[in-house]
Amino acid sequence: MAFDERILDEAADWAVRTGDPAFADWDAFTLWLEGDPAHALAYDLVMAGTAEAAEALPSVASAPLPDAANGPRGNRRWFAGLIGIAAATAAVFGAWTLRDQSYVIATQPGETRLVALDTGGEVLLAGDSRIVLDRGNPDLAVLEQGQALFTIVHDEKRTFRVEAGDSTFVDIGTVFDVKHSPRATSLAVSEGAVLFNPERQKVRVDPGHVLTVSPGSPDYRLAAIDPGQVGEWSEGRLTFQDALLMDVAADLSRATGTRFEAAAEAAGRRVSGSLLLAPLRDDPRTLAPLLGVAVRAEGGAWVIEAR
């Protein structure tokens, strides 16, 4: 069915407007829809067409943004703006190219992003995370902050490496989760095996184990973990075992996009529990009985404190 130009224009306009989460003019939209049965059909066409188009496009890793270093200035001021912004504000942008062929992919809290790796395999980035990949060196990924679940296609001729802080993890197997923050770096292995710091400690981490290191210290801790728990955040679940409340708050913020904070006097308390993220997004107060804490709203955040 071919649509009238004007109807398609109007449908596109309504599609753009209703696509904004703040849109509130539903009565006007209803009136337009009632004007002609073709209006609703045109709107459905636009919504379906744009959704299918967005799904057909590859993830950012294989469709990089243009390199601003090569482009002229002038009306491409906004490209220059992207490059000019330092890593400190990097979280605002999803992805951009650095010098040479490196590129950064970053996520907001509550967001996850699947990135295809040039060598085959993929990495699932958790919320509030930043990873640097390099077209010129496809066997290396640098996790600057946050958490990522790697699924690697193992190749005898090349080894895939993940760097996080001072730690290097060399893949000799398939599925592993790396988490990095200024206070600690951890590696959990679900399938295959990963070698930690092959030049120094040289620890092999097998499936069902998690290795934790603190930056600036050669000490590490190796603990058992249910392999099913590795990367469980990607399935909407988090498990804490004697975790510090401030770490719990940070993990929840990353995963849900809702701001959680540990009250100052409770930040050092340890809690255990396993929870689903979806109900927590709907009502943060359900956290209270799950972890044996108290939760209250303050400002734009949910504050966790001891009961």
Partner 1 sequence: MSDLSQPTGLAGAFMEHRERLLRFLVARGAGEAAEDLLHEIWLKVSRAQTGPVADPLAYLFRTANLLMIDRYRSETQARKRERDWSEAMAGTGGGISDSPSAERQAIASQLCEQVTQTLDELGERQAAIFRRHRVDGIPQRQVAAEFGVSLSTVESDLRSAYRALAELKERLDEA
**x-marked contacts with partner 1 along 105-144 as a string, rule CB under 8 A:** ------x---------------------------------
How distant, in Å, are the alpha carbons of 178, 291, 305 from that of 213?
A: 11, 25, 27
For residues 227 and 190, the answer to whether their CB atoms sit within 8 Å is yes
Among 4, 6, 28, 41, binds partner 1 (CB under 8 A): 41
Is the dihedral angle over the CA atoms 163, 169, 170, 172 positive or is it negative? negative
Report the alpha-carbon distance of residue 282 to residue 295 in Å, rounded: 14
Asked if 294 interacts with partner 1 (CB under 8 A), we say no
Asked if 268 interacts with partner 1 (CB under 8 A), we say no
Among 4, 28, 51, 183, binds partner 1 (CB under 8 A): 51
Considering only the stretches 19-27, 187-195, 237-245, 246-254, report the one whose residues sit in contact with partner 1 under the rule CB under 8 A: 19-27
Query: With respect to partner 1, which residue has the nearer C-beta, 37 or 299?
Result: 37
Residue 264 beta carbon to partner 1: minimum distance, rounded to whole angstroms: 24
Asked if 77 interacts with partner 1 (CB under 8 A), we say yes
Considering only the stretches 61-69, 119-127, 153-161, 265-273, report the one whose residues sit in contact with partner 1 under the rule CB under 8 A: 61-69
Asked if 289 interacts with partner 1 (CB under 8 A), we say no
Asked if 58 interacts with partner 1 (CB under 8 A), we say yes
Asked if 17 interacts with partner 1 (CB under 8 A), we say yes
Asked if 53 interacts with partner 1 (CB under 8 A), we say yes
Strands (E), 129-207: 130-134, 140-151, 161-164, 167-171, 175-180, 185-191, 194-196, 203-205
Among 86, 88, 92, 224, binds partner 1 (CB under 8 A): 92
The three-state secondary structure class of 253 is helix
The letter for the amino acid at 37 is P
Nearest to 29 by CA among 41, 5, 8, 11: 11
Asked if 30 interacts with partner 1 (CB under 8 A), we say yes
Site for partner 1 in 203-242 (CB under 8 A): none
Report the alpha-carbon distance of residue 148 to residue 178 in Å, rounded: 5
For residues 240 and 220, the answer to whether their CB atoms sit within 8 Å is no
For 96-145, the DSSP string reads EE-STTEEEEE--TT--EEEE-TTS-EEEE-TT-EEEEETT-TTEEEEEE
Residues in touch with partner 1 (CB under 8 A): 2-3, 8-9, 11-13, 15-21, 23-24, 26-27, 29-30, 33-34, 37, 40-54, 56-58, 60, 63, 65-66, 76-78, 81-82, 92-95, 111, 279, 282-286, 297
